[in-house]
Amino acid sequence: MLFANGDKVLFTGDSVTDAGRGRPVGEGLHAGVGTGYVRIVETLLNVYYPERLIQVSNTGNSGDNVVSLKARWQNDVMNLHPDWVSVCIGVNDVWRQFDSPSIKSQHVYIDEYRKTLSELVERTLPSVKGMILLSPYYMESNREDAMRAKMDEYVAAVAEIASKYNTHYVDLQAAFDKYLTYRHSSFIAWDRVHPNQVGCMIIAREIMRSVGFDREFL
């Protein structure tokens, strides 16, 4: 497993990561890392790797796109000096193009998205042990749906960036697509974006697979 004793693992992104986390930094007791997938990752690490003291921090911020994430990157990522950084961003970059089509100032188109996320990766890699890039997703199995088709472009961009910079990559869209062959999206996210605990478990499972979970799961 990639995370070693004493490592600090920071998760950041939009509301999917935020999940009601504590402020200014989500960690420790009470609100802590929130109630979403980061909480499940933290729990799995504590249950299955008790010999490793791994600090989990959450600086996800509801409503963020990659541009607003960049604006707070120094304060909410670099200044916290993590060993590992996990990023899940892109849903709002696409969503605002559909739920607020006339407010173009809220849109982040694919070229800007790719350029900005690449800049964040380049800026961060020299200071950390590694990064984990989570793809954005839309829980819609009809790939001809307009928002799903657009989201697929952003998913592909994250995969390209992960390959270019040799980061870990987690394809959440593929994971949800597989699940949706058995269950309707309303079972895990009524708005097809914000996951319930089942959806959060799917995300956490894919992250743990990516970092080399190697304990017997009982």
- Angle formed at CA 152 by CA 112 and CA 178, multiple of 5 degrees: 145
Q: Is 191 a catalytic residue?
A: yes
Amino acid found at 124: T
CB-based contacts of 170, cutoff 8 Å, min separation 6: 132, 133, 134, 135, 206, 207, 209, 210
- Tokens matching residue 201: 């478990």
Residue 125 near residue 50 (C-beta atoms within 8 A): no
**Given the residues 15, 57, 86, 135, the one annotated as active site:** 15
User: What gap in Å lies between CA 146 and CA 58, rounded to an integer?
Assistant: 31
49 CB-contact burial (10 Å; exposed 0-12 / middle 13-18 / buried 19+): middle
Roughly what angle, to the nearest 10 degrees, separates helices 146-165 and 91-99?
160
Residues 6+ apart with CB under 8 A from 85: 10, 12, 77, 124, 128, 131, 132
Q: Active-site residue among 14, 86, 191, 214? A: 191
Q: 10 Å Cβ neighbour count for 58?
A: 31
Residues marked active site are found at 15, 191, 194
